[in-house]
Chain A
Amino acid sequence: MPDVAPAPATEIAPQTGGWPSLVADWSADRHAFRGVSWGKAMMWVFLLSDTFVFSCFLIGYMTVRMSTTVPWPNPSEVFSLEVGGTNFPLLLIAIMTFVLISSSGTMAMAVNFAYRRDRLRTVLLMLATAFFGATFVGMQAFEWTKLIHEGVRPWENPWGAPQFGSAFFMITGFHGTHVTIGVIFLLIVARKAWRGDFDTGRKGFFTSRSGRWEIVEITGLYWHFVDLVWVFIFALFYLW
């Protein structure tokens, strides 16, 4: 049996697409995620695990809502906002949704400019994203304050099933925490980008490795995920 050294990964012609590429990548006895950096792959794996965390919250909410004999408070009325004497249902939530979508838009463009090595535009767009995120958290704090003043607690509320409060605080609280962490993450990466770390190869304080522009895309993945979770919360908690 001839002893043949394995060919370098680059010499194995990558299948370009479709099912053959899937089979080839997974059966290559090499990196399954060909051409994907470990940072990006790990962020995706983390986001997958976070998907399960939020799924469990939403499924828990679904379970208590479906199994209670007490009527569920009407979110459309609970979250209405009075502007100039008229009650708009879910007005604040709608504004929050648009703010978060806008932040995703600016983030997507920041990633694009990062790969063009356009330092100024990247930083400005990341700061805009962080600003929208902070605005979102601020509006959420306003909403929590309003509801707490109206008597919503994790164990009771004036309108119906007591589980409403616990589901609301758990789900929006966990999401708000993710947004807050995302804002901090954005500011840290924006500072590094502004300082030119990704061009000069300056070592990171925490990892002692040179940063690369790809970190902007990885930050973006996290940020878009936060927006993605809000899409589900908006539909399943507020509109249901």
Chain B
Amino acid sequence: MAHAATAEGQQHPIRLYLLVWGWLFILSACSYLVDYVGLQGVLRWSLILLFMLVKAGLIVAVFMHMAWERLALAYAILLPPLAVLVFVGIMVFESGHTLGMREFFFAGV
């Protein structure tokens, strides 16, 4: 049995880890290249965020074995961080307001 998450622990072929390791290298190189070649605008942000999320997904799913844990654990751990997105939204709104006030009151300073 190649893949097993039992009481004895996680057992997966070493090849899988090497494969993920390789992909993490490639994705990191890609995100570095985005900066190196100087991409700007929407393309830059979408590529950086895409590479970031894929790398994070690979680490959590394979290296941290979340892909083989029971759903009860996976959802307990992976769902709460979504609340962070709400916080991000609130603070984006707040920052826009602060910036507007600063530009309005300190425009000539």
A positions within 8 Å CB-CB of B: 17-19, 21-22, 25-26, 32-36, 41, 44-45, 47-48, 51-52, 55, 59, 62-63, 66-69, 76, 89-90, 94, 97-98, 101-102, 104-105, 107-109, 111-112, 114-116, 213-214, 217, 220-221, 224-225, 227-228, 231-232, 234-236, 238-240
Contacts of B28 in A (CB 8 A): 94, 97-98, 101, 234
In the complex, are the beta carbons of A89 and B35 less than 8 A apart?
Answer: yes
**A24 (CB) vs chain B CBs: closest residue:** B72
Contacts of B52 in A (CB 8 A): 231-232, 234-236
Q: A22-B71, A105-B18, A213-B9 are in contact. List 6 more A-B contacts (CB 8 A).
A: A33-B72, A59-B88, A59-B91, A90-B32, A107-B63, A240-B48
In the complex, are the beta carbons of B24 and A104 less than 8 A apart?
Answer: yes
**B78 (CB) vs chain A CBs: closest residue:** A48
- Of the candidates A41, A214, A231, the one having the most CB atoms from chain B within 10 angstroms of its own CB is A231
7 contacts between A and B (CB under 8 A): A55-B87, A66-B95, A66-B99, A114-B9, A217-B65, A234-B28, A236-B52
B positions within 8 Å CB-CB of A: 5, 7-12, 14, 17-18, 20-21, 24-25, 28, 31-32, 34-36, 45, 48-49, 51-52, 55-56, 59-60, 62-65, 69-73, 75-77, 80-81, 84, 87-88, 91-92, 94-96, 98-99, 102-103, 106
In the complex, are the beta carbons of A55 and B84 less than 8 A apart?
Answer: yes
B59: shortest Cβ distance to chain A, in Å?
5
In the complex, are the beta carbons of A35 and B70 less than 8 A apart?
Answer: yes
A109: shortest Cβ distance to chain B, in Å?
5
**A17 (CB) vs chain B CBs: closest residue:** B71
The main secondary structure of chain A at its interface with chain B is helix
In the complex, are the beta carbons of A67 and B73 less than 8 A apart?
Answer: no
A162: shortest Cβ distance to chain B, in Å?
14
CA of A90 to CA of B94, assembled, Å: 31
In the complex, are the beta carbons of A36 and B70 less than 8 A apart?
Answer: yes
B21: shortest Cβ distance to chain A, in Å?
4
**CB < 8 Å: which of A48, A55, A112, A213 contacts B77?**
A48
In the complex, are the beta carbons of A63 and B91 less than 8 A apart?
Answer: yes
**CB < 8 Å: which of A36, A105, A240 contacts B21?**
A105
In the complex, are the beta carbons of B88 and A62 less than 8 A apart?
Answer: yes
In the complex, are the beta carbons of A32 and B76 less than 8 A apart?
Answer: yes
**CB < 8 Å: which of A22, A67, A224 contacts B99?**
A67
Given the known inter-chain contacts A112-B11, A112-B14, please indicate yes or no for A98 contacting B25, CB distance below 8 A.
yes
Contacts of B34 in A (CB 8 A): 239
B71: shortest Cβ distance to chain A, in Å?
4
- Of the candidates A21, A59, A235, the one having the most CB atoms from chain B within 10 angstroms of its own CB is A235
